[in-house]
Structure 1
Amino acid sequence: MKPYFDTSVLIKSYVMEPRSEEAIENINQAGTGFPISHITTLEMTNALQLKVFRNEISQQAASRYLRAFESDIESGYMYYPPHDIGSIFLRAQKLSLDHSTTLGSRSLDILHVASALEFGCDTLITFDQKQERLAKEAGLQTH
């Protein structure tokens, strides 16, 4: 299995909340060296800032979690694979044309699925049911 982890799973491995244990177990099963996209980094950053906005965590905690995430990238635990961003967007556009009218897919979810496909992943691990349906339609296994 070559997994791609959606931010809905990754964030729960840093911030303890419902389904964190499941997220950590899924990530541990994947081992080290799994691909992420720059979209993941943006979403992780924004999700942490939204948690500050909602008074769920402090700004210091958000900064600490973001540093831990960045450290995991620097260590190779996660990595940005070489890719052509244009190819990801073209694939995302095709996914949108093929599936958004029936699934109601959101743009960032489509970009994650397109990234997984472009990176050669065979499995999308997500806690987002709509994204999971799109991934299945696109030919990915899900978990």
Structure 2
Amino acid sequence: MTSADRTYVDPSALRSLYVHDDRSARFCAWRRRLGGCIPITRFGRAELINSVELAVHRKDIGEGIARVAIADLDADVREGRLAIVDVLWRRTLDLAAELSTQHTPALGTRTLDVLHVATALTLEARRFVSYDDRQSALATAVGLRVLTP
């Protein structure tokens, strides 16, 4: 497996590749250095698309930018820069419940934070990209190396 194969990127962080924000330049430079194919679940893809569409609703971006962002996301899948991967959701959700019991009282993690960390573990990731403090704390607590490019 390549480095990218062992890296789980939270969809909120991945959004910086598709919608310009204050992290985009650094994130894009990191992505170029990483190379390879980053795994993303269908749930992660749906979350990323919803994030783009929510930005339209909030008037943060225009409809045209959203269409380009989603087309670029789909192109990255077609061209092998992202891979849609499947997880066993029953196993992943059971693991998320365990992580919640073990860590949420101390860390205050939200359900989606826990679900993404559980997904990373299910995919046997070694690295976890996130800009969220609580999610990062959980990822660190379970042995993932947190990156914030």
Q: Which residue pairs with 2:91 in the alignment?
A: 87
Partner secondary structure for residue 8 of structure 2: strand
Residue number among 45, 56, 76 corresponding to 1:72 in the alignment: 76
- In 1: Cα distance, 2:91 partner to 2:78 partner: 25
Q: Hey, which bits of structure 1, 4+ residues long, moved more than 4 A?
A: none
Residue number among 2, 9, 12 corresponding to 1:5 in the alignment: 9
**Any stretches of 5+ residues in structure 2 without a counterpart?**
none
Q: Give matches, 1:58-137, under 5 Å.
A: 58-137=62-141
- Taking structure 1 as the reference length, what is the TM-score of the superposition? 0.93
Aligned residue pairs: how many?
A: 143
Q: Which residue pairs with 2:48 in the alignment?
A: 44
- In 2: Cα distance, 1:22 partner to 1:9 partner: 11
Q: Which residue pairs with 1:57 in the alignment?
A: 61
Deviation of the 1:122 alpha carbon = 0.3
- Cα deviations by residue, 1:9-40 (Å, 9 ceiling, x for unpaired): 21111111111112112222321212112221
- In 1: Cα distance, 2:19 partner to 2:85 partner: 25
- Taking structure 2 as the reference length, what is the TM-score of the superposition? 0.89
Deviation of the 1:68 alpha carbon = 1.0
- Cα deviations by residue, 1:51-75 (Å, 9 ceiling, x for unpaired): 1111111122212211111221122
- Cα deviations by residue, 1:114-143 (Å, 9 ceiling, x for unpaired): 111111110101111111001001110101
Aligned-pair Cα RMSD in Å: 1.3
- In 2: Cα distance, 1:16 partner to 1:24 partner: 10
